[in-house]
């Protein structure tokens, strides 16, 4: 392994960069023909087999740079200067027709949003097939990348190219029979033989594994070499298109791939779709794979699985990866080399650990400070060194000792909610017997993957949904009994902030009207005092008064979320329910919003019910954590306990999924 | 699927009963006595009139007349016109003409609507996109009879390329201009629909993914842009067949085509209740069947839609 790595580095040096971007400049043209500079003077390189991450916030030009390599700039974008070289070939100024020849076979793409990147009308298998057909791929034989062949060269004797022939699905039963006979012949019996057979059945995937692999496995199992090669040669004669499609999908980690290939995208979950897109991106064995935030739209646990798998695949295929992400922790964990982009320029680049431990540019320093995955890690490492971690917990204002004697403002007991599923008799339990309480002036976080029932709990606490069973009490009173004036009063004191700041503000309302609306509904103050109150609220969330006259589409995501918080704060609530309130935001903005929430809590003695799938954020903000899985509460403890001594395996999985968890961090 | 089909077919029964009753009531409520009208200028012979009334059941209450019609209709006996012709013969004469006209209009609007829509959608903002948009807007806003008269004047009289009117038992050339006029409004809608679909689909993420696979531009357009864009266009076209048959009344009157629209209009004027109700029932059945086909086609074209 060590040997391989040094060989890889030597090879990279010898061959030079696979992708070399120099002084790249990209402009977009506005409607009135003005040029907007999206990328300026950007330079970076990717060596064969290397993972390089471009990190930056949205609008930093990271995706734009990556798309220009593929020749797929959106809309009016065009390269106005610099050079992009792939394997020494200049790509700037290439015709779309010539790009067609390179796309797929020389460079592949794994796009950002798995929900919109598959055509809903074609079967998954058909969409994989398109990639194979467009590049005239030989579906019966593997195409090894130049790097893989060179690396494997000395150890693996490739007699001829036929050794790269795939197993076909029709010949598999006969092959397994022959293998069984050969093993018996070799004198293996009982458990050893069974174990070998089980291994073969599991590993020999048609359309993915080759003749060489079959022979190798048989030899390793104890069959003599000549016999093993004889079996491999007579029983592995090549796969069909359908076999190859299933093989590719199963390589990407899709179970039961042959059946899955016949399904349509809408029958797949987000994670499965992303696996299909990875299969498509790697179908023609490109030298370079461009992965544009490939897992940002997915849950953390799924994200980890998929990235692990992608890593393993690209390593074994010798594919270089240009990895676009906004999470520095994730970038550092996955890539050997990091390029930091800010406002269209490369502000810093270097080996991952170097960038992380000794950031030079002020923007990189801010990114390192803001990345929640790194922040929570910083706390752990400080504790390990016996340092006082409290200094790092700047977000946590409320001391734990204070928690003990504060009373519960919201109490949830044995909460259950069932839904009727179409065409099914039994009810689906979205929330199953969940109990917890939110203490006054503290933050309780509910953590879980999508579908764990956490948002359903939030909706019941907000009385937007009635529970099937169990109760929610606010200040000791059962909220299901609230009606009329009492309900209005409850609504006034318990306010929501929702996930999507784009969707939760009415685009036709000015910012003033959006914030003023709750005051008007509850009949608070007159026109003049309401204007004063709105400007006071804007002040509180650190926005200038001038935004009052503007509309939501003129503000950024972070600004809109601040407006949503200001709106929630308008009525001086006691409790704020944040349903994934920061999940859609960039790390820097996320950090700002979290700080704001903490400051407000300290100032107004607010209680938060914080719903999120991101444990890293929890570490920064919560006092107590409730972990939910499949509608059930699986763990409930203080934040420190959950992070330091997780009791359940599921919680440990969630913790492991925080990117950057295994990084060594400098504490400068 | 089978259950869904059965449900849809059973739904037709109350629809047929409801419409026939409504149309029958409307014809019954028309002012004027058809029997008196048959005598023209001659004095009305009360005995003969009573005999005619009895023969056509006009002396019975409305609801009884309606059930007699229904009972006969079940045995495919739609009765006779006042002139003594079996209603079924009149319909058999008129329907083929209208079907020919509607099909020609359909082919015309489908071909030219999609072609111009695709050109327009792919080259948004070019001068010919603007021209195509303007012409389609014009076709939508100008009433059919104006377009009809204008075409008659230009193609028929001024340049004498096509016959001005069709007359009874018209051929392909006779129906060419009426079909184009009849299909022009729908064509304009199809242009706009196709254009909007193409220009929104071309910006979809999966189109970019397809390009990233290395597919050629032509393949990407055909398999990912056009294929997806045509789903709503095909559903529109399916529903339009029925609309073309029922809506041919104006065109048939302008071009003197003895089709269904023309026949309906004539029979309303004469108070031929049986004839009107029979035609309307048939048109409605065509409408229902077309709608069912469209719904099934929609499910076949878009895998996200499944009926159970």
pLDDT tens digits along A593-644? 788 888 888 888 889 999 888 887 888 788 889 999 888 898 888 888 888 8
Percent of chain B with pLDDT over 90: 28
Query: Mind listing the pLDDT tens digit for each residue in B153-171?
Result: 998 888 888 888 877 778 8
A495 with A626, same domain? Answer: yes
Q: Which of A367, A388, A417 is the last residue of a domain?
A: A367
Q: Do A130 and B210 touch (CB under 8 A)?
A: yes
The residue of chain A nearest to residue B220, with distances taken between CA atoms, is: A130
Residues in chain A with CB shorter than 8 Å from the CB of B206 are: 116-120
Q: Do A130 and B213 touch (CB under 8 A)?
A: yes
A75 with A170, same domain? Answer: no
Residues in chain B with CB shorter than 8 Å from the CB of A97 are: 216-217
ipTM of the complex: 0.78
Picking from A31, A117, A421, A423 by the largest number of B CB atoms within 10 A of its own CB, the best residue to mutate is A117
Does the pLDDT of residue B1 top 80, yes or no?
no
DSSP code of A580? Answer: S
A477 with A616, same domain? Answer: yes
Which of A74, A123, A135 has its CB closest to that of B214?
A: A135
A355 with A298, same domain? Answer: yes
Residues in chain A with CB shorter than 8 Å from the CB of B210 are: 119, 130
B123 vs B109, residue with greater confidence: B109
How is chain B split into domains, by residue range?
87-301
Residues in chain B with CB shorter than 8 Å from the CB of A266 are: 303-304
Of A377-391, A483-497, A567-581, the range with the lowest mean pLDDT is A377-391
Query: Mind listing the pLDDT tens digit for each residue in A193-213?
Result: 888 888 888 889 888 888 888
Query: Looking at the domain assignment, is residue A126 inside a domain?
Result: no
A490 with A608, same domain? Answer: yes
Q: How far apart are CA A87 and CA A155, in angstroms?
A: 26
The residue of chain A nearest to residue B229, with distances taken between CA atoms, is: A121
A104 in contact with chain B, both atoms CB, cutoff 8 A:
yes
B125 in contact with chain A, both atoms CB, cutoff 8 A:
no
Residues in chain A with CB shorter than 8 Å from the CB of B219 are: 130, 134
Residue B267: the pLDDT is 84
pLDDT level of residue A575 (50, 70, 90 thresholds): very high
Does the pLDDT of residue A378 top 60, yes or no?
no
Residue B298: the pLDDT is 85
Q: Which residues contact B94 (CB under 8 A, 6 or more apart)?
A: B258, B259, B260, B262, B263, B279
The residue of chain A nearest to residue B301, with distances taken between CA atoms, is: A121
Closest CA–CA distance from residue B220 to any residue of chain A (Å): 10
B7 in contact with chain A, both atoms CB, cutoff 8 A:
no
Choose among A357, A361, A363, A297: nearest CA to A329.
A357
pLDDT level of residue A504 (50, 70, 90 thresholds): confident
For tokens 């030219």, name the residue. Answer: B112
Q: Which residues contact B29 (CB under 8 A, 6 or more apart)?
A: none
Picking from A130, A266, A284 by the largest number of B CB atoms within 10 A of its own CB, the best residue to mutate is A130
B211 in contact with chain A, both atoms CB, cutoff 8 A:
yes
Average pLDDT over residues A476-491: 87
Q: Do B205 and A72 touch (CB under 8 A)?
A: no
Which of A103, A116, A118 has its CB closest to that of B212?
A: A103
Please report, in angstroms and rounded to a whole number, the separation of the first and last CA atoms in chain B: 5
Residue B192: the pLDDT is 94
Domain span at residue A435?
Answer: 400-504+574-656
SS3 of residue A513 by DSSP: helix
Which of B205, B215, B224 has its CB closest to that of A111?
A: B205
A130 in contact with chain B, both atoms CB, cutoff 8 A:
yes
Q: Which residues contact B89 (CB under 8 A, 6 or more apart)?
A: none
Number of domains in chain A: 3
Q: Which residues contact A354 (CB under 8 A, 6 or more apart)?
A: none
Q: Are A329 and A375 spatial neighbours (Cβ–Cβ below 8 Å)? A: no
Residues in chain A with CB shorter than 8 Å from the CB of B222 are: none
CB atoms within 10 A of CB A645: 9
Percent of chain A with pLDDT over 90: 22
A-B CB pairs within 8 A amount to 91
Q: Are A624 and A442 spatial neighbours (Cβ–Cβ below 8 Å)? A: yes
Both tokens of B272, joined, read 């031929």
SS3 of residue A651 by DSSP: helix
- What residues form DSSP beta bridges with B167? B257
Binding-face residues of B in 227-246 toward A, CB within 8 A: 227-228, 231
Average pLDDT over residues A564-584: 85
A170 with A308, same domain? Answer: no
Residue B120: the pLDDT is 93
Query: Mind listing the pLDDT tens digit for each residue in A66-111?
Result: 999 999 988 788 899 999 999 889 999 899 899 999 999 999 999 9
Residues in chain B with CB shorter than 8 Å from the CB of A123 are: 303
Q: Do B228 and A116 touch (CB under 8 A)?
A: no
- What residues form DSSP beta bridges with A346? A341
- What residues form DSSP beta bridges with A627? A447, A635
Of A279-283, A424-428, A604-608, A616-620, the range with the lowest mean pLDDT is A424-428
Residue B219: the pLDDT is 93
Residues in chain A with CB shorter than 8 Å from the CB of B200 are: none
Residue A621: the pLDDT is 83
Q: Do B212 and A111 touch (CB under 8 A)?
A: yes
Query: Mind listing the pLDDT tens digit for each residue in B11-65?
Result: 888 888 888 888 888 877 777 677 776 676 777 778 888 887 777 777 778 888 8
The residue of chain A nearest to residue B216, with distances taken between CA atoms, is: A100
φ, ψ (nearest 5 deg) of residue A461:
-65, -35
Which of B211, B216, B224 has its CB closest to that of A119?
A: B224
A296 with A411, same domain? Answer: no
Closest CA–CA distance from residue A108 to any residue of chain B (Å): 6
Closest CA–CA distance from residue B255 to any residue of chain A (Å): 43
Which of A100, A103, A121 has its CB closest to that of B228?
A: A121
Residue B26: the pLDDT is 82
pLDDT level of residue A668 (50, 70, 90 thresholds): very low
Does the pLDDT of residue A259 top 80, yes or no?
yes
Query: Looking at the domain assignment, is residue A483 inside a domain?
Result: yes
Does the pLDDT of residue A398 top 60, yes or no?
no
The residue of chain A nearest to residue B303, with distances taken between CA atoms, is: A121
Query: Mind listing the pLDDT tens digit for each residue in A145-180?
Result: 666 666 655 545 454 567 788 998 888 999 998 988
Average pLDDT over residues A265-292: 90
Q: How far apart are CA A432 and CA A560, in angstroms?
A: 34
Q: What is the dihedral of CA A172, A173, A178, A181, to 10 degrees?
A: 140
The residue of chain A nearest to residue B231, with distances taken between CA atoms, is: A121
Query: Looking at the domain assignment, is residue A229 inside a domain?
Result: yes
Residue A404: the pLDDT is 44
Average pLDDT over residues A360-364: 88
Residues in chain A with CB shorter than 8 Å from the CB of B227 are: 119, 121
CATH: 2.60.40.1170, 2.60.120.560, 1.20.120.1200, 1.10.3720.10. Which one for B87-301? Answer: 1.10.3720.10
Residue A23: the pLDDT is 93
Does the pLDDT of residue A403 top 60, yes or no?
no
Q: Do A96 and B217 touch (CB under 8 A)?
A: yes
Average model confidence (pLDDT) for chain A? 83
Q: How far apart are CA A24 and CA A408, in angstroms?
A: 57
Residues in chain A with CB shorter than 8 Å from the CB of B231 are: 121
B214 in contact with chain A, both atoms CB, cutoff 8 A:
yes
Residue A242: the pLDDT is 92
A322 vs A3, residue with greater confidence: A322
Query: Looking at the domain assignment, is residue A593 inside a domain?
Result: yes
Average pLDDT over residues A503-528: 86
Residues in chain B with CB shorter than 8 Å from the CB of A262 are: none
- What residues form DSSP beta bridges with A351? A337
A486 with A591, same domain? Answer: yes
Q: Do A120 and B303 touch (CB under 8 A)?
A: yes
Binding-face residues of A in 425-484 toward B, CB within 8 A: none
The residue of chain B nearest to residue A132, with distances taken between CA atoms, is: B213
Average pLDDT over residues B275-291: 85
Closest CA–CA distance from residue A283 to any residue of chain B (Å): 9
């Amino acid at each position: 392994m060590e040997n391989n790595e040094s060989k890889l580095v030597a090879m990279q040096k010898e061959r030079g960069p696979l992708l070399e971007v120099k002084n790249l400049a990209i402009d977009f043209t506005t409607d009135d023909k003005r040029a907007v500079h999206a990328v300026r003077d950007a330079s970076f390189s990717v060596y064969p087999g290397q993972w390089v991450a471009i990190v930056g916030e949205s609008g930093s030009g990271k995706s734009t740079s990556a798309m220009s390599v593929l020749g797929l700039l959106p809309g009016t974008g065009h390269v106005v200067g610099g050079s992009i070289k792939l394997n020494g070939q200049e790509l700037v100024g290439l015709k779309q027709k010539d790009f067609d020849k390179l796309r797929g076979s020389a460079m592949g793409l794994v796009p950002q949003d798995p929900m919109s990147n598959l055509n809903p009308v074609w079967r998954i298998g058909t969409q994989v097939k398109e990639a194979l057909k467009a590049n005239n791929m030989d579906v019966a034989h593997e195409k090894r990348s130049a790097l893989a062949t060179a690396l494997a060269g000395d150890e693996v004797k490739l007699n001829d190219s036929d050794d790269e022939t795939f197993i076909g699905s029709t010949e598999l039963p006969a092959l397994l029979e022959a293998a069984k006979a050969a093993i018996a012949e070799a004198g293996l019996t009982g458990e050893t033989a069974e174990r070998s057979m089980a291994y073969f059945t599991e590993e020999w995937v048609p359309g993915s594994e080759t003749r060489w692999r079959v022979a190798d496995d048989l030899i390793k199992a104890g069959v003599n070499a000549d016999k093993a090669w004889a079996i491999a040669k007579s029983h592995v004669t090549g796969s069909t298109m359908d076999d190859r499609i299933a093989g590719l999908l199963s390589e990407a980690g899709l179970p039961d791939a042959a059946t899955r290939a016949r399904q349509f995208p809408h029958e797949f979950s987000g994670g499965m779709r992303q696996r299909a897109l990875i299969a498509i991106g790697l179908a023609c064995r490109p030298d370079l794979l461009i992965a544009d935030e490939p897992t940002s739209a997915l849950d953390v646990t799924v994200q980890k699985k998929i990235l692990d798998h992608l890593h393993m695949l690209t390593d074994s295929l010798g594919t270089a990866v240009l990895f676009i992400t906004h999470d520095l922790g994730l970038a550092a964990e996955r890539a050997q080399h990091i390029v930091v982009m800010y406002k269209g320029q490369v502000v810093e680049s270097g080996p991952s650990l170097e960038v992380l431990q000794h950031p030079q540019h002020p923007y990189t320093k801010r990114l390192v400070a803001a990345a929640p995955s790194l922040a929570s890690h910083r706390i752990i490492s400080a504790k390990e060194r016996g340092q006082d971690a409290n200094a790092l917990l700047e977000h946590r204002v409320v001391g734990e000792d204070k928690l003990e004697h504060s009373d519960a403002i919201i109490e949830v007991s044995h909460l259950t909610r069932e839904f009727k599923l179409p065409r099914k008799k039994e009810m689906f339990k979205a929330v199953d017997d969940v109990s917890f309480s939110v203490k006054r002036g503290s933050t309780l976080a509910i953590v879980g993957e999508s579908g764990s029932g956490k948002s359903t709990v939030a909706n019941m606490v907000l009385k937007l949904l009635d529970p099937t069973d169990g109760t929610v009490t606010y200040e000791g009173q059962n909220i299901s009994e609230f009606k009329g004036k009492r309900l209005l009063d409850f609504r006034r004191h318990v306010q929501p902030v929702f996930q999507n700041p784009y969707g939760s503000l009415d685009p036709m309302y000015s910012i003033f009207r959006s914030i003023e609306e709750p005051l008007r509904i509850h009949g608070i103050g007159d026109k003049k005092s309401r204007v004063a109150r709105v400007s006071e609220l804007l002040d509180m969330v650190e926005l200038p008064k001038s935004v009052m006259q503007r509309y939501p589409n003129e503000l950024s995501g972070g600004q809109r979320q601040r407006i949503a918080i200001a709106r929630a704060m308008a009525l001086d609530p006691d409790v704020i329910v944040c349903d994934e309130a920061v999940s859609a935001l960039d790390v820097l903005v996320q950090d700002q919003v979290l700080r704001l929430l903490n400051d407000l809590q300290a100032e107004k003695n607010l209680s938060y019910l914080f719903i999120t799938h991101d444990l890293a954020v929890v570490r920064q903000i919560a006092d107590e954590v409730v972990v939910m899985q499949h509608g059930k509460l699986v763990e409930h403890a203080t934040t420190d306990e959950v992070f330091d001594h997780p009791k359940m395996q599921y919680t440990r999985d969630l913790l492991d999924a925080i990117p950057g968890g295994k990084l060594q961090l400098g504490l400068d | 699927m089978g259950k869904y089909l059965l449900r849809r077919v059973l739904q037709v029964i109350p629809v047929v009963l409801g419409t026939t009753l409504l149309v029958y009531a409307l014809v019954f409520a028309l002012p004027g006595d058809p029997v008196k009208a048959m005598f023209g200028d001659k004095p009305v012979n009360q005995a003969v009139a009573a005999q005619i009334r009895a023969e056509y059941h006009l002396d019975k209450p409305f609801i009884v007349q309606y059930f007699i019609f229904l009972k006969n209709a079940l045995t495919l006996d739609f009765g006779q016109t006042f002139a003594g012709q079996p209603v079924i013969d009149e319909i058999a004469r008129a329907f083929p003409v209208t079907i020919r006209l509607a099909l020609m209009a359909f082919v015309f609007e489908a071909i030219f609507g999609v072609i111009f829509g695709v050109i327009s959608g792919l080259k948004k903002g070019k001068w010919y996109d603007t021209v195509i948009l303007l012409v389609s807007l014009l076709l939508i806003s100008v009433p059919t009879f104006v377009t009809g008269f204008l075409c008659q004047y230009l193609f028929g009289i001024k340049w004498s390329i096509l016959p001005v009117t069709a007359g009874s038992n018209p051929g392909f050339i006779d129906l060419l201009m009426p079909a184009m006029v009849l299909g022009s409004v729908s064509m304009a809608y199809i242009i706009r629909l196709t254009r909007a679909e193409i220009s929104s689909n071309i910006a979809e993420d999966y189109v970019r993914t397809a390009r990233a696979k290395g597919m050629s531009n032509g393949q990407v357009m055909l398999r990912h842009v056009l294929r997806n864009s045509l789903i709503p266009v095909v559903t529109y076209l399916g529903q339009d067949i029925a609309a073309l048959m029922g809506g041919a009344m104006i065109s048939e009157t302008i071009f003197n085509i003895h089709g269904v629209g023309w026949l309906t209009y004539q029979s309303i004027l004469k108070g031929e209740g049986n004839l009107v109700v029979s035609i309307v029932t048939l048109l409605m059945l065509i409408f229902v069947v077309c709608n069912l086909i469209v719904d099934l086609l929609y499910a076949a074209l878009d895998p996200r839609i499944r009926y159970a």
